[in-house]
A and B are shown apart, each in its own frame.
Chain A
Amino acid sequence: MREITYLEAVREAMTQEMERDPRVFMIGEDIGEYGGAFQVSYGMLEKFGPERILDTPITELTLTGAATGAALIGMRPIAEIMFMDFTTLASEQLVNQAAKLRFMFGGQSTVPLVLRTPAGSGTGAAEHHSQSFENWFVHVPGLKVVMPTTPYDVKGLLVSSIRDDNPVVFIEHKLLYKTKGDVPEELYEIPLGKADVKREGKDLTIVATAIMVQRSLQAAEELAKEGLDIEVVDPRTLRPLDTETIVNSVKKTGKVLIVHEAVKTGGFGGELAGVIAESEAFGYLEAPIIRLAGREVPIPYNRNLEQKSVPQVEDIIEKARELATLKV
Chain B
Amino acid sequence: MAIEMIMPKVDMDQETGTVVEWLKSDGQSVEEGEVILVIETDKIAIDVESPGSGILNGISAIPGDVVPIGTVIAFILAEGEELPDQPAKAVEPAQADPPPQVSDPVPATQDVSATPVARKMAQSQGVDLSTIKGSGSGGKITKADVEAALGSAMPLSPGDILASPAARRIARVKDINLGLVKGTGPGGRIQGFDVEAYIPSKSQVGLPALSSPPIGDSIPLIGMRKKIAERLTESYQSIPHIQFTSRVDMSNFIKARNDYNELALKRGDEKISVTAMLVKMVGMILADHRMLNSSIIDDKIMVHPDINIGVAVALEEGLIVPVVKNADQKGISQIAVESSDLVNRARQEKLTNADVKGGTFTITNLGPFGVEQFNAIINPPEAGILAIGATTSEVVATPDGAIAVRPIMRFTLSADHRIVDGAVAARFIADLKTTLENPVLMNY
Give, as a whole number of angstroms, the nearest-CB distance from B169 to chain A.
4
Check: A254 CB closer than 8 A to any chain B CB: yes
Give, as a whole number of angstroms, the nearest-CB distance from B175 to chain A.
15
A207 to B242, alpha carbons, bound, how many Å? 65
Contact of B168 among A283, A287, A327 (CB under 8 A): A283
Check: B166 CB closer than 8 A to any chain A CB: yes
Q: Is the CB of B186 within 8 A of A286?
A: no
Q: Is the CB of B165 within 8 A of A326?
A: no
Q: Is the CB of B186 within 8 A of A283?
A: no
A286 to B191, alpha carbons, bound, how many Å? 6
A283 to B172, alpha carbons, bound, how many Å? 10
Give, as a whole number of angstroms, the nearest-CB distance from B27 to chain A.
49
Check: A282 CB closer than 8 A to any chain B CB: yes
Give, as a whole number of angstroms, the nearest-CB distance from A248 to chain B.
15
Query: Smallest CB-CB separation from B193: which chain A residue?
Result: A286
> How many residue pairs between the two chains, A and B, have CB atoms under 8 Å in the bound complex?
29
Q: Which residues of B contact A254 (CB under 8 A)?
A: 164, 166, 192
Q: Is the CB of A285 within 8 A of B166?
A: yes
Query: Smallest CB-CB separation from A285: which chain B residue?
Result: B165
List B residues 155-170 near A (Cβ within 8 Å): 164-169
A285 to B165, alpha carbons, bound, how many Å? 5
Q: Can you list, as one digit per residue, whether each of B270-288 has a CB less than 8 Å from chain A (1) or not (0)?
A: 0000000000000000000
A254 to B163, alpha carbons, bound, how many Å? 13
Check: A328 CB closer than 8 A to any chain B CB: yes
Check: B422 CB closer than 8 A to any chain A CB: no
Interface residues on B, range: 10 to 19
Which of B164, B167, B192 counts the most A-chain CB atoms under 10 A from its CB?
Answer: B164
Check: B185 CB closer than 8 A to any chain A CB: yes
Q: Which residues of B contact A328 (CB under 8 A)?
A: 186
Q: Is the CB of B166 within 8 A of A284?
A: yes
Q: Which residues of A contact B169 (CB under 8 A)?
A: 283-284
Q: Is the CB of A285 within 8 A of B186?
A: no
Query: Smallest CB-CB separation from A282: which chain B residue?
Result: B165
Q: Is the CB of B165 within 8 A of A284?
A: yes
Q: How many residues from A make CB contacts under 8 Å with B?
A: 10
Q: Which residues of B contact A284 (CB under 8 A)?
A: 165-166, 169, 192
A284 to B164, alpha carbons, bound, how many Å? 8
List A residues 278-305 near B (Cβ within 8 Å): 282-287
Q: Can you list, as one digit per residue, whether each of A304-328 has a CB less than 8 Å from chain B (1) or not (0)?
A: 0000000000000000000000111
Q: Chain A interface mostly helix, strand, loop or mixed?
A: loop
Contact of A327 among B164, B186, B191 (CB under 8 A): B186
Q: Which residues of A contact B191 (CB under 8 A)?
A: 286, 326
Query: Smallest CB-CB separation from B173: which chain A residue?
Result: A283
Q: Is the CB of B166 within 8 A of A326?
A: no
Give, as a whole number of angstroms, the nearest-CB distance from A274 to chain B.
15
Q: Which residues of B contact A282 (CB under 8 A)?
A: 165
A319 to B165, alpha carbons, bound, how many Å? 20
Q: Is the CB of B186 within 8 A of A326?
A: yes
A216 to B381, alpha carbons, bound, how many Å? 62
Which of A282, A286, A287 counts the most B-chain CB atoms under 10 A from its CB?
Answer: A286
Q: Can you list, as one digit per residue, whether each of B190-208 has a CB less than 8 Å from chain A (1) or not (0)?
A: 0110000000000000000
A11 to B374, alpha carbons, bound, how many Å? 86
Query: Smallest CB-CB separation from A328: which chain B residue?
Result: B186
Query: Smallest CB-CB separation from A254: which chain B residue?
Result: B166
Query: Smallest CB-CB separation from B169: which chain A residue?
Result: A283
Give, as a whole number of angstroms, the nearest-CB distance from A283 to chain B.
4
Q: Which residues of A contact B164 (CB under 8 A)?
A: 254, 285-287
Q: Which residues of B contact A283 (CB under 8 A)?
A: 165-166, 168-169
Give, as a whole number of angstroms, the nearest-CB distance from A273 to chain B.
13
Query: Smallest CB-CB separation from B170: which chain A residue?
Result: A283
Which of A326, A327, A328 counts the most B-chain CB atoms under 10 A from its CB?
Answer: A326
Q: Can you list, as one digit per residue, whether each of B139-177 has a CB less than 8 Å from chain A (1) or not (0)?
A: 000000000000000000000000011111100000000
A283 to B168, alpha carbons, bound, how many Å? 7
Query: Smallest CB-CB separation from A287: which chain B residue?
Result: B164
Q: Which residues of B contact A286 (CB under 8 A)?
A: 164-167, 185, 191-192
A285 to B191, alpha carbons, bound, how many Å? 9
Q: Which residues of A contact B166 (CB under 8 A)?
A: 254, 283-286
Q: Which residues of A contact B167 (CB under 8 A)?
A: 286
Give, as a whole number of angstroms, the nearest-CB distance from A39 to chain B.
49
A254 to B185, alpha carbons, bound, how many Å? 13
Query: Smallest CB-CB separation from A277: which chain B residue?
Result: B165
Q: Can you list, as one digit per residue, whether each of B48-74 has a CB less than 8 Å from chain A (1) or not (0)?
A: 000000000000000000000000000
A283 to B165, alpha carbons, bound, how many Å? 5
Q: Which residues of B contact A326 (CB under 8 A)?
A: 185-186, 191
A254 to B166, alpha carbons, bound, how many Å? 7
Give, as a whole number of angstroms, the nearest-CB distance from A268 to chain B.
22
Give, as a whole number of angstroms, the nearest-CB distance from A48 to chain B.
55
Give, as a whole number of angstroms, the nearest-CB distance from A133 to chain B.
33
Which of A254, A282, A283, A326 counts the most B-chain CB atoms under 10 A from its CB?
Answer: A283
A287 to B165, alpha carbons, bound, how many Å? 8
Give, as a whole number of angstroms, the nearest-CB distance from A203 to chain B.
12
List A residues 247-293 near B (Cβ within 8 Å): 254, 282-287
Give, as a whole number of angstroms, the nearest-CB distance from B197 to chain A.
14
Q: Which residues of B contact A287 (CB under 8 A)?
A: 164, 185
Give, as a whole number of angstroms, the nearest-CB distance from A108 to chain B.
46
Give, as a whole number of angstroms, the nearest-CB distance from A322 to chain B.
9
Q: Can you list, as one digit per residue, whether each of A127-145 has a CB less than 8 Å from chain B (1) or not (0)?
A: 0000000000000000000
Q: Which residues of A contact B168 (CB under 8 A)?
A: 283
Give, as a whole number of angstroms, the nearest-CB distance from B292 to chain A.
36
Query: Smallest CB-CB separation from B191: which chain A residue?
Result: A286
Query: Smallest CB-CB separation from B184: which chain A residue?
Result: A326
List B residues 307-332 near A (Cβ within 8 Å): none
Give, as a whole number of angstroms, the nearest-CB distance from A93 to chain B.
44
A312 to B169, alpha carbons, bound, how many Å? 35
Q: Which residues of B contact A285 (CB under 8 A)?
A: 164-166
A282 to B167, alpha carbons, bound, how many Å? 11
Which of B166, B169, B192 counts the most A-chain CB atoms under 10 A from its CB?
Answer: B166
A203 to B186, alpha carbons, bound, how many Å? 16
A285 to B166, alpha carbons, bound, how many Å? 5
A sample of 10 inter-chain contacts (CB < 8 A) reads A283-B168, A284-B165, A285-B164, A285-B165, A285-B166, A286-B164, A286-B166, A286-B167, A286-B185, A286-B191
15 new A-B contacts, CB < 8 A, other than A284-B165, A286-B191, A327-B186, are A254-B166, A283-B165, A283-B169, A284-B169, A284-B192, A285-B164, A285-B166, A286-B164, A286-B165, A286-B166, A286-B167, A286-B192, A287-B164, A287-B185, A326-B186
Which 7 pairs, one residue from A and one from B, show the smallest C-beta to C-beta distance? A283-B169, A285-B165, A286-B164, A286-B166, A284-B166, A282-B165, A286-B191
Which B residues have a C-beta under 8 Å from some C-beta of A? 164-169, 185-186, 191-192
Which A residues have a C-beta under 8 Å from some C-beta of B? 254, 282-287, 326-328
